[in-house]
Amino acid sequence: MKKWIVIIFLLSCNAITAQADSLFKFVKSIKGDIVSFTIDNLDYIYLLSSTNQVKKLNANSDSVAVFNDVKKFGQVSLIDVSNPLKVLLYYRDFATIVVLDRLLNVRNTIDLRKQNVLQVRAIGQSYDNKIWLYDEVENKLKKIDEDGELLLETPDFRQLFGEAPTPQKIFDQDQYVYLYDSAQAVFVFDYYGALKNKILISGWQNFKVAGKYIFGSKDNKLFRYNIQTFRVDEWKMPDELYLTQSFNFSSARLYALKKDSIEIYSFR
């Protein structure tokens, strides 16, 4: 059996102490019926309403597309916009992925049950426009095409780790695939499914890999981990940011979801 080497990078935290008003600069607010949201690498914002409508806004907050076919598969569990030209909607209760184009028109529907994949929590787009998913029944990271056909799979993780991870997030970034299990760590794989690294980050909420950074929050702290230098920047958030429902990040902006709005801040 191939020997798997886990390289553990120990995190060295660099706490930044500064006034909150010098760290976070309010940019603008977007109001509406918003229960969840995400952003792509062009700062387009995708809003999910209480009626399961998906609306796409440009960087000026103008509506550019709407997806209204919301009743067929129930509640949207996840929206992946890693590729702005291809949007993935994942419906966990039906094990179904709906593939949309940049104008939120349906391109394809993938029923994972037809591929005997019955329990999936996390999916993510791959660099070559395929789809990564973690099969929780077989404990394998898998890659499929738009027809749902299996292209690649890892060995059973129970054979590789003392305790198989249960990832909540999957990101494909700069030739690596990141699986985040908030109870354990970040597991980093190459494109062939070989484990390359294990980053000791756990307990972070609002986890996101964007460019050279990993973002997250915990309690009233915001964290930014530099993948290249292994440095962790830490900020204490002001109360108006801490008391929010969820966050999302771009390289220079923080998006905070409140009861009826998203507030956008720049930060350094």
Q: What is the pTM of this model?
A: 0.87
Mean pLDDT of the chain: 87
Alpha helix ranges (H) inside the chain: 20-23, 239-242
- pLDDT-based confidence at 268, cuts 50/70/90? low
Given a cut of 60, whether residue 204 has pLDDT beyond it is yes
List the single range of 100-114, 149-163, 165-179 with lowest mean pLDDT: 149-163
Q: What is the mean pLDDT of residues 114-132?
A: 94
**CB 112, CB 122: distance < 8 Å:** no
Whether residue 71 is contained in a domain is answered as: yes
Whether residue 56 is contained in a domain is answered as: yes
CATH number at residue 78: 2.120.10.30
Whether residue 54 is contained in a domain is answered as: yes
Given a cut of 80, whether residue 128 has pLDDT beyond it is yes
Per-residue pLDDT of 25-81, as tens digits, reads 889 999 999 999 999 988 899 999 998 899 999 988 899 999 987 677 888 999 999
Query: What is the extent of the structural domain holding 91?
Result: 32-153
Whether residue 254 is contained in a domain is answered as: no
Report the alpha-carbon distance of residue 18 to residue 117 in Å, rounded: 48
Number of domains the chain is built from = 1
Whether residue 68 is contained in a domain is answered as: yes
Report the alpha-carbon distance of residue 155 to residue 140 in Å, rounded: 6
Residue where the block lists tokens 């890693």: 82
Phi/psi for 115 (5° steps) reads -100, 15
Whether residue 194 is contained in a domain is answered as: no
Whether residue 239 is contained in a domain is answered as: no
Here the tokens at position 268 are 């350094």
How many helices (H) and strands (E) are present in the chain, helices listed first? Answer: 2, 26
- pLDDT-based confidence at 22, cuts 50/70/90? low
